[in-house]
């Protein structure tokens, strides 16, 4: 072995076929880049999905499925099966162990974006991304009756700025024939991007929701002045749902049972983390399919190495014969070809990993701002080393087939000229 340094021979052999070797390395690099990118984004998407709402111990709404309650209260998708009376809300809000509550009222929209009736406490207690609070990019929270705060996506898509007036419409469709145009809302705040449904929300006060529906849910709004409305008791009779924060998480299961068995009306309390995991189990099939496709792309890259080695065997018969004539044993030939296969895969995997992290470093701010995908780390770790090692080992195993074929070639066969 001393006379035949395998690694040196492998490097020289690869350099003699630099064009083919470079294309093979690039193929592996692209496949590894795709696989690692999919994996990083997939895990980041799941973590961000599970952190769409955080800091909330319970969500309470009318009795339905836990996923449905989560969808309409957090993601603003679908509608509630029923509303909750204000008395029931107050009963839960005043229960022992409850630190704070945030009521929400749904049912209206603005040009396809959901209108959320709530209180200023929403901006104080709503968190996302594992404890990140809502931040105003411009302006402030609503204070008077017909003021509104809009999400970043609403402002960007519709070109809104502070001080502009918008009209709230009845229903949740993108097009509505019933608008509460007697009572326009003035934009006083624009939220910073969160990558959550908050970006596509229009937030107003509960009292404003009551005011625009004084003359019926399908009317144009109320003709009363702001002074007259502020003098009235606009406490809602019912709300859609509410978020609950507890003094200690230990109280969660006990309060959940009390809400679920509430005798006055059918209520349901869910733990957001549990419901999010259930929802991900439903929608997560797509990302698992994408991961499988990426894995097959890596396999394609490895097969390209096998193809390159196999197609070069006949051209290298004389090279192998010369090595044998110089004293190389069949085992040296076998080791040489396996080393070449592993070396090509290692170079491709290292390049692919470098490209992955370079790309993620450049696009991670966009992923967070536009899609809410928070990538946990941009430093290679043990998982990446495991992928590099797996790709290298798999390539070595695949290269063992052509290497065994070369191993069995005799010196006479190698020196024979075939026409």
294/83: higher pLDDT: 83
Supply the mean pLDDT for the chain: 82
What is the pLDDT averaged over residues 306-329? 64
pLDDT at 187 over 80: yes
Domain assignment of residue 276, yes or no: no
pLDDT category of residue 217 using cuts at 50, 70 and 90: low
- 361 with 308, same domain: the answer is yes
What CA–CA distance (Å, rounded) separates 415 from 154?
75
Q: What is the DSSP letter of 152?
A: H
pLDDT category of residue 410 using cuts at 50, 70 and 90: very low
Give me the percent of the chain exceeding a pLDDT of 90.
32
Which pLDDT value is given to residue 419?
45
Beta bridge pairs of residue 60 = 242, 269
Beta bridge pairs of residue 138 = 190
Residue 257 neighbours by CB distance under 10 Å: 11
Domain assignment of residue 255, yes or no: yes
- 244 with 292, same domain: the answer is no
Domain boundary among 207, 239, 270: 270
226: Cβ contacts below 8 Å, ≥ 6 apart: 144, 145, 146
Give me the percent of the chain exceeding a pLDDT of 70.
79
pLDDT category of residue 222 using cuts at 50, 70 and 90: confident
- 150 with 93, same domain: the answer is yes
What CA–CA distance (Å, rounded) separates 95 from 149?
30
- 232 with 189, same domain: the answer is yes
* C-alpha torsion sign, points 239, 241, 243, 246: positive
- Of 206, 203, 227, 201, give the one whose Cα is nearest residue 141: 203
127/333: higher pLDDT: 127
Phi-psi category of 129—alpha, beta or left, where left has phi over 0 and alpha has psi -120 to 50?
A: left
404/164: higher pLDDT: 164
What CA–CA distance (Å, rounded) separates 419 from 120?
87
Which pLDDT value is given to residue 13?
67
pLDDT at 369 over 80: no
pLDDT at 230 over 90: no
What is the pLDDT averaged over residues 168-189? 76
- Of 201, 238, 207, give the one whose Cα is nearest residue 116: 201
Structure tokens at 294: 């990426």
What is the pLDDT averaged over residues 58-87? 91
pTM for this prediction: 0.72
pLDDT at 221 over 60: yes
What is the pLDDT averaged over residues 83-101? 94
Domain assignment of residue 309, yes or no: yes
For 276-284, the CB contacts below 8 A with 24+ separation are 276/49, 276/50, 276/52, 276/70, 277/50, 278/66, 278/67, 279/67, 279/70, 279/71, 280/46, 280/49, 280/50, 282/67, 284/46
- 410 with 315, same domain: the answer is yes
Instruction: Report CA-CA distances (Å) from 396 to 4, 27, 184, 349, 399.
Output: 20, 16, 69, 13, 5
How many residues in total does the chain contain? Answer: 419
- 252 with 302, same domain: the answer is no
Which domain covers residue 333, as residue numbers?
A: 6-49+284-415
pLDDT at 257 over 90: yes
pLDDT category of residue 61 using cuts at 50, 70 and 90: very high
pLDDT at 346 over 80: yes
Domain assignment of residue 277, yes or no: no
Structure tokens at 383: 């998982």
- 205 with 124, same domain: the answer is yes
pLDDT category of residue 246 using cuts at 50, 70 and 90: very high
pLDDT at 194 over 60: yes
Which pLDDT value is given to residue 290?
74
What is the pLDDT averaged over residues 21-50? 82
- 204 with 345, same domain: the answer is no
């Amino acid at each position: 072995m001393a006379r035949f340094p395998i690694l040196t021979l492998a490097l020289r052999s690869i350099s003699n076929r630099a064009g083919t070797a470079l294309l093979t390395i690039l193929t592996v690099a692209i496949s590894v880049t795709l696989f690692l990118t999919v994996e990083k984004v997939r895990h980041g998407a799941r973590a961000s999905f599970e952190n769409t709402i955080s800091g909330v111990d319970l969500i309470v709404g009318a009795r339905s499925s836990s996923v449905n309650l989560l969808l309409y209260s957090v993601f603003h998708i679908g509608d509630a099966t029923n509303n909750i009376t204000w008395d029931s809300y107050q009963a839960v809000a005043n229960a022992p162990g409850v630190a704070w509550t945030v009521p929400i009222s749904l049912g209206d929209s603005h040009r396809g974006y959901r209108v959320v009736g709530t209180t200023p406490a929403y901006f104080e207690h709503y968190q996302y991304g594992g404890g990140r609070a809502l931040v105003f990019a411009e302006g402030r929270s609503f204070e008077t009756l017909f003021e509104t705060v809009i999400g970043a996506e609403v402002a960007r898509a519709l070109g809104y700025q502070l001080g502009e007036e918008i009209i709230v419409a009845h229903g949740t469709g993108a097009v509505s024939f019933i608008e509460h145009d007697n009572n326009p809302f003035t934009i006083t705040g624009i939220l910073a991007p969160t990558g959550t449904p908050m970006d596509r929300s229009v937030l107003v006060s509960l009292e404003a929701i009551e005011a625009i529906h004084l003359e019926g849910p399908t009317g144009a709004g109320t003709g009363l002045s702001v002074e007259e409305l502020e003098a009235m008791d606009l406490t809602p009779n019912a709300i859609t749902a509410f978020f609950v924060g507890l003094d200690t998480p230990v109280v969660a299961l006990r309060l959940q049972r009390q809400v679920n068995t509430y005798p006055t009306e059918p209520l349901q309390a869910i733990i957001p983390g549990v419901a999010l995991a259930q929802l991900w189990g439903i929608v997560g099939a797509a990302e698992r399919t994408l991961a499988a496709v990426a894995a097959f792309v890596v396999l394609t890259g490895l097969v390209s190495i096998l193809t390159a080695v196999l197609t070069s065997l006949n051209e290298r018969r004389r090279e192998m014969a010369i090595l044998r004539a110089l004293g190389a044993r069949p085992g040296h030939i076998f080791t040489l070809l396996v080393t070449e296969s592993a070396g090509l895969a290692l170079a491709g995997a290292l390049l692919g990993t470098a490209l992955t992290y370079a790309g993620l470093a450049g696009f991670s701010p966009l992923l967070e701002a536009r899609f809410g995908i928070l990538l946990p780390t941009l430093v290679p770790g043990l998982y990446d080393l495991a992928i590099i090692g797996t790709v290298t080992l798999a390539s070595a195993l695949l290269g063992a087939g052509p290497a065994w074929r070369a191993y069995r070639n005799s010196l006479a066969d190698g020196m024979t000229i075939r026409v």
